[in-house]
Amino acid sequence: MRQKQDLRGMRHHLSSNWRLPLIPTKLSPPRRSQPLFSRKRLESLAPAIMKHALTLVQAPAGYGKTTLVGQWADKYRGEDKLVAWLSLSEEDNSERRFLSYLIASLSITKSNFCNESILAINSEPSSSIEVVESILLAELEASREEILLTFDDYHCITNPEIHSLMLRLIKNRPENLHIIIATRSEIPIRLSKLKLENQLLILGVSDLRMDFSELEIFLNEVVELDLPKNVARLLYEVSEGWVAGVQMAALSPRLRKEPKQFLNEFASGSKDLKNYLHEVLVELLPSDCEEALVRCSILERFNVSLCQVVGGVSDGNAFLEKLSRLNLFIFSLDDNNEWFRLHRLFSDFLRERLGQLGKKEVLALHRLACNWFVAHELWSEAVSHALAIGNSDLAKTFIERCASEMLEKSRTATLVNWGKQIPEHELSKNIDIRLAIVRAQMLMMELPPIHGLLHELESDLQKSDDVDLMERREDLQKQIQTTSSLLALLEDRLEDARRSAEPLMEAPSELNRFEYEVVFNVLGYIYLHQMRFDEIVEVQRQAARLTNKLHFGEGYRKSFEGLAWFWRGRLDRAEALLGESLAISEKIAGRRSMASVTAIASLAELCYERNKIEEAEELLASAMTGSLDACLLITAQTIYSLLARISKLRGEKAESWILLDKLEKVAMKRGWVRLEGHCYAERIQSDIWEGDGISATRELGRFEQYLETVNPDVIAKELLHDDWLISKARIELLNQPSKGFIKELHERITVLDRQGALYRSAKFRMLAALGEWKIGQTKAAKKSLIPALALGQAQGMFRTFADELQGGQCLLKNIASSLDAHEMRLMPYIEGLVNNMEPVPKLLGNFEKDLESDSLPSDISDLELLSASEVTEREREILELIGDGLFNKEVANLLGISEGTVKWHLKNLYSKLGVSSRTQALKRAHSLKLIN
């Protein structure tokens, strides 16, 4: 009723005071029954609007511009501010009509506002535009209120005189006037001065596209659709966060019935999407631009030259500038604006229209593209177009040139797919491509068929009478040998890998770049497990001499060198190298690559050791977004073991055991004997933390039976023996350890110390010291433990002591009371360990004492509800973002606050919710319905 009265009043005002007929509905935001959904990330920018003269919201159709600026307007309309709105259309390109609507939008914000301007614009004879403009600016400046003036659909304005009028309005604006312009295309108004004055706020596609958390909120709250996370992720990837695309997909019944098939066919199969794209994009395009875009849709990316060659335009620069101005779903791929791509859905939509050109024309376009990419030696893109025209001979030639690059960049699936498109009888004749595809399958951990494929390659190479192959036979045999060594490493046959790789190191300069990088990394990984640390450093030096630019192998090498320093007890140096490894691997192959996940896992282990549990969890969550089906044994072991231990520390016993079960399944699937044995060791430690000595003893028996049934190679056997020795020591310490067994621990300490593996040695020292203390040899216990304490103090170690010395506080206090003068520097460190080593599950704070359940109580108390009601909107935002696995730093960047502020908010949240971790906070928040 109130809205109808307002509308009647507006119509009366407009009909009684204006010469031109004005449409009232253009002066208010489009009416909705309710907002589609709340995008807090964008709504929170509302205060920034009132700090800038101009806010420019610029994006293609369907990104929610009108909805967003309408929500901003609604927010300020309820405050002591004047909020004016003007929806523009093509009919508003008359300067006088535009100014009339502008004045009308302002005049209805309060009684008797802009009366002088109304008289001026409606006077007879007509006042000049400049006079009316001056009167309006004077009235705006005379107003005491803050004024928010919104122009929606400004892309409809093409009259240069109106652009000039807007420039004068912005330039001569009073301080209380704040303007919002929402547009699909660039506005031809010079804004550089506003930028310099920090008076311009710009929101583009990257700001307006949905992030994954917003997509999940939309699915859950608006359309009430509970999609599996992997399907929601696929929807996000297909739509690229385009709001309209997400909405159309989510409202389709097929998304519920056959989600993956529907999303794969979405761009070509959805009538709603086709009609929308045709209406808001294609119909607005000049015919020559439309045809050029359809022709360019065969390209994954394009530049000025390709637009001319494939698109058929005479001036590629002008064409791209026009597309950028119109904001037609075109995105720049680099800082120099040299390469561009189309939105995936728009590209698929255009490709469907390729059929209108005819098959011959489409093949001709692929030939043009193929020739262009060949001329510019961009071989991977040339392959796709060669396959499109059915020229497998050309495709094979190009694959040979780019196979190594594809492997380096972790584009293994693409390489395997290319192989499937080449006729088998042709592929069988090309040993180079077959070898590249075998390597790709191997890096995707499709290991079982690899042995047979390598054997076929060797046999075919020996039998071949091809002159070229005969000349290259020795080189190809080395490549097969390199591949065999990598296969042995991935299968954890480390001794076989060593015997295969070391001979190749005798003349690394005779290998091509990819081969020697593989050899260096295979040996680096093996030497790490053999504790041959100095040789790892030497391998790194040799590789550095041969490599003069950044290469995929450097990421792995720095990871293995970083782990070597970790095991040597130099955690500071390890952290630096692992950080470098992650940066290199992300740059070359992406965050989800095997190399990146390897570095992330080791960094998480380092954080865990230093008791930075939150940071460790952040890293582990990041690692879990990659494919753990395709990672090294050491990576899988680190990730799952750390997650299990942290779950145990949180009091989540069931979750801890589930994680160890998952790790065991990975080990059995891969045939990783060593990893399967490690699972026994982790379970034994878990049982001992629980105080369940009987279960731990039984598990040790099963471990020993397992060892009798397996036959690992010599390197894996020694590492398995370490796991068994540690597990045996833990069981012995439940009772009265024998002197003979303590002697065995010291023998292992001696070997590790000689190898320089001081971090690994420290764990054995703790177990030996506990044993000696238990049998009354306190001096021997002190002698065993002091070197470990000195290392721990120097490197900030905590968890190794806390995990192994549970119940050993008396030992530490005894040692502290007997420190010599030169040992007194250890006193603060020992006191810190004693004070912070509490019985499980109180290692990290006050947790639930019932370790049989990892769930929170189902009954929420009134006190808890009261505390939850005090959770602020900002804290809710942070909860939702950490629930999506974002790091503190990423949350900070997204919300425009510091990382320290995020941590401060989390600390307050933990206090209000009565928890001590992210996991517990998210569970509590969910049970209290604070978040989804």
* Residue 898 CA: distances (Å) to CA of 49, 884, 895, 904, 917: 21, 19, 9, 10, 20
- Residue (of 512, 511, 556, 513) closest to 536 by Cα position: 556
Mean pLDDT computed over 513-533? 91
Residue 558's pLDDT is what?
92
pLDDT at 268: 60
Distance CA 476, CA 482 (A): 10
Alpha-carbon distances of 314 from 295, 300, 317, 376, 725, rounded to whole Å? 14, 21, 9, 20, 75
Residue 288 amino acid letter:
D
Residue-level pLDDT at 548? 63
pTM: 0.66
Tell me what pLDDT residue 231 has: 76
Q: DSSP code of 627? A: -
User: Which pLDDT score, from 0 to 100, does residue 547 have?
Assistant: 67
What's the CA gap between 699 and 704, in Å, rounded?
A: 9
| Cα-only R_g, the chain | 34
Could you tell me whether strands 146-152 and 81-87 are parallel, antiparallel, or unpaired per DSSP bridges? parallel
Q: Which pLDDT band, with edges at 50, 70 and 90, does 856 fall under?
A: very low
What is the structure's pLDDT at 398?
A: 93
Q: At what angle do helices 873-883 and 899-913 cross, to 10 degrees?
A: 100
The pLDDT value recorded for residue 17 is 64
Residue range 537-543: mean pLDDT, rounded: 83
pLDDT tens for 444-477 read 888 889 999 999 999 988 888 888 888 888 889 9
Q: How far apart are the first and last CA of the chain?
A: 35
Dihedral, 385, 390, 394, 397 alpha carbons, nearest 10: 90
Q: Of 634-638, 675-679, 802-806, which range is least confident?
A: 802-806
How does pLDDT run across 82-120, given as a tens digit for each residue?
999 999 988 899 999 999 999 999 998 888 899 899 989
| Band of residue 587 on the pLDDT scale cut at 50, 70, 90 | confident
Evaluate if residue 675 carries a pLDDT over 90.
yes
Residues 156-193: tens digit of each pLDDT: 898 999 999 999 999 999 999 999 999 988 888 888 88
Q: How many Cα atoms sit within 13 Å of 518 on the Cβ side?
A: 28
**For residue 783, which of 791, 793, 772 has the smallest C-alpha distance?**
772
Burial (CB count <10 Å: 0-12, 13-18, 19+), residue 141: middle
Q: What is the reported pLDDT for 900? A: 67
Cis-peptide into 125, omega within 30 deg: yes
Query: Residue 146's beta-bridge partner residues?
Result: 81
Segment 12-53, tens digit of pLDDT = 555 556 767 788 888 888 766 445 567 788 888 888 888 899
Q: What tokens does 388 get?
A: 């499109």
Token representation of residue 430? 């090309």
